[in-house]
Amino acid sequence: MGEMAIELTGGCACGAVRYRIEREPIFVNNCHCRLCQRQTGSTSVVNAFYEFDAIEQLSGDTLQQTVKAGSGGDHVIVRCSACGTALWSHYARLGTLGAGVRAGTLDEPGSLRPDAAIFVASRMPWVTLPEGIPHFDTSYDPSQLLPPERMARLRR
Ligand SMILES: [Zn+2]
Ligand SMILES: [Zn+2]
């Protein structure tokens, strides 16, 4: 079976940073944890996880900020150096090869569907959980949700 042709493009709010991804994500999380709420100032964040080399930065300059992830490890946020928009993150627990792209920075943010809503125990009380997307009070075991070929990419 050939790979499905996919091209996602995105960028920061000021337009300086543009990026392209030509790959299906390994998995997509809609995270309602307190850290994501605080770091985004919003109800939750949608992160699409890829091998780091999947992200092709086309323009602009980025800077990196290191904060703590919910797991206690380092979480490096990559931002546009001009406008500060957070574009993607590296998580220590995923190793140096993984990156979580903030789906809200995609030109078509609705083109990725979350595999799971996580940390819903701390969601804002008026947030309704989507039908048909599994949700978990905290985290989950990806091997229970992901098809084998995506698990293989996760293990690499
Ligand atoms: Zn910018
Ligand atoms: Zn979170």
Domain boundaries, the chain: 24-155
Asked if residue 35 has pLDDT above 70, the reply is yes
CA 64 to centroid of ligand 1, rounded, Å:
13
Determine phi and psi for 94, rounding to 5 degrees. -95, 0
**% of the chain at pLDDT higher than 90:** 69
Q: What is the pLDDT of residues 51-96, one digit of tens each?
A: 988 999 999 999 999 987 777 788 899 999 999 999 999 877 666 5
Determine phi and psi for 90, rounding to 5 degrees. -110, 135
Q: Report, as an integer, the average pLDDT of 123-141.
A: 94
Beta-carbon contacts of residue 144 (< 8 Å; ≥ 6 apart): none
CA 2 to centroid of ligand 2, rounded, Å:
33
CA 152 to centroid of ligand 1, rounded, Å:
34
Tell me how far apart the alpha carbons of residues 50 and 155 are, in angstroms, rounded to a whole number.
Answer: 12
Strand partners for 3: none
The 10 Å CB-count burial string (b at 16+, else e) for 132-147 is eeebbeeebebeeebe
Q: Look up the CATH number of domain 24-155.
A: 3.90.1590.10
| Closest ligand to Cα 138 | 2
The secondary structure of residue 96, as a DSSP letter, is T
